[in-house]
Amino acid sequence: MTPALASPSPRLATPRALGGVLLLALAAFAVLGPWLIEADPAGQDLGASLAPAGGDYLLGADHYGRSLLARLAHGARLSFGMAFVTMATAAVPGVLLGLAAAWRGGWVERLADLASTIVLALPGLMLVLLLLAFAPGNFGPLYLGLALTLWVEFYHVTRAAAATVLKQPHVEAATLLGFGPGYVLRRHVLPVIAPLIGTLAAFAMATAIIAISTLSAISVGLQPPTPELGSMIVELLPYYAEAPVHVLLPAALIVLLVLGLQLVAQRSSR
């Protein structure tokens, strides 16, 4: 009997399915939560400072009496949105440059390699911090710095994978028969590299979420009262003894976001 080589491994499908369900649940919370939860994430009620879960506050309130449920929903939407925009901004030029370098070679590849080498010469967070120095606490420099750091991975993976595919006999035959770059890329190259790009995209989003939360936690990223998960942890940390669960909630949400992306990004090993 011929084994079904193309069938996905159950050991791989289960974690990826779990990651997909987790991400769908978190995405629904991030997208629908701000509309379903009527509480204002910036609305203060000092009489409800550090209120426990239950009653008027389902997940409790922070030290300013702001609804933690509302702030977590907005924080999840902010993290998802910024991570997706950062990933897309890094993926588009990285993939296009990788395809161009693999197809054309020569000076195109040399220029792209030089640009990627310059970026790699700087530590990733250093590049982000340099841009944040011009406008600390703003979204623009933060997202641009992360995108400039992440595009290199998309470029290198795309160039290597596309170059391998373009050297295969059936692809060379299609080129010799007069099929244009659009046909070759669409029918032969993109189907092969698409899973790799999807995996990179998930890892890039996870990296962006961690970086955004870390920079906000050290007060160089997004600043309070913006409901960002990293800054929420730092704001609540002095009150850990009185309300430990309040501090753990945004941290747990970051872990779940990154965990879901890492599970979805898993690839089968040959």
Least reliable range by pLDDT among 9-23, 63-77, 153-167, 209-223: 9-23
Q: Which amino acid is at 60?
A: G
Least reliable range by pLDDT among 98-112, 139-153, 228-242, 256-270: 256-270
Instruction: Collect all residues with Cβ–Cβ distance below 8 Å to 12 and sequence separation of at least 6.
Output: 266, 267, 268
Which pLDDT does position 252 carry in this prediction? 94
User: What tokens appear for 105 in the block?
Assistant: 């070679």
Domain assignment of residue 3, yes or no: no
Q: What is the mean pLDDT of residues 70-77?
A: 92
Residue 206 has pLDDT above 80, yes or no: yes
Percent with pLDDT over 70 in the chain: 90
Domain assignment of residue 174, yes or no: yes
Tell me the sheet residues that pair with 54.
57
Task: Please state the φ and ψ torsions of residue 61, each to the nearest 5 degrees.
Answer: -130, 155
Task: Kindly report the CATH number assigned to the domain that includes residue 93.
Answer: 1.10.3720.10
Quick one: pLDDT band at residue 269, thresholds 50, 70, 90? very low
User: What tokens appear for 53 in the block?
Assistant: 């879960």
Which pLDDT does position 73 carry in this prediction? 92
User: What tokens appear for 231 in the block?
Assistant: 């800054």
Domain assignment of residue 2, yes or no: no
Instruction: Collect all residues with Cβ–Cβ distance below 8 Å to 73 and sequence separation of at least 6.
Output: 29, 30, 33, 34, 37, 41
> Of 70 and 12, which is predicted with more confidence?
70
Which pLDDT does position 72 carry in this prediction? 93
Residue 9 has pLDDT above 80, yes or no: no
Domain assignment of residue 208, yes or no: yes
Which pLDDT does position 5 carry in this prediction? 38
90 contacts 147 by C-beta, under 8 angstroms: yes
Quick one: pLDDT band at residue 200, thresholds 50, 70, 90? very high
Domain assignment of residue 35, yes or no: yes
Residue 7 has pLDDT above 60, yes or no: no
Q: Which amino acid is at 157?
A: V
Domain assignment of residue 51, yes or no: no
Least reliable range by pLDDT among 8-12, 172-176, 243-247: 8-12
User: What tokens appear for 249 in the block?
Assistant: 């909630």
Note the pLDDT tens digit of each residue in 166-199.
888 877 777 776 676 777 787 888 888 998 999 9
Which pLDDT does position 4 carry in this prediction? 39
Note the pLDDT tens digit of each residue in 90-103.
999 999 999 999 88
Tell me the sheet residues that pair with 57.
54
Residue 213 has pLDDT above 80, yes or no: yes
> Of 5 and 50, which is predicted with more confidence?
50
> Of 207 and 177, which is predicted with more confidence?
207
Burial zone of 220 (CB within 10 Å; 0-12 exposed, 13-18 middle, 19+ buried): middle
Note the pLDDT tens digit of each residue in 118-174.
888 877 777 777 777 776 667 778 888 888 889 999 999 999 999 888 888 877 777
Domain assignment of residue 49, yes or no: no
Domain assignment of residue 97, yes or no: yes
Rounded distance between C-alpha atoms, residue 255 and residue 251, angstroms:
6
> Of 132 and 251, which is predicted with more confidence?
251
Rounded distance between C-alpha atoms, residue 208 and residue 227, angstroms:
17
| Structural domain that includes position 253 | 12-39+60-264
Domain count, the chain: 1
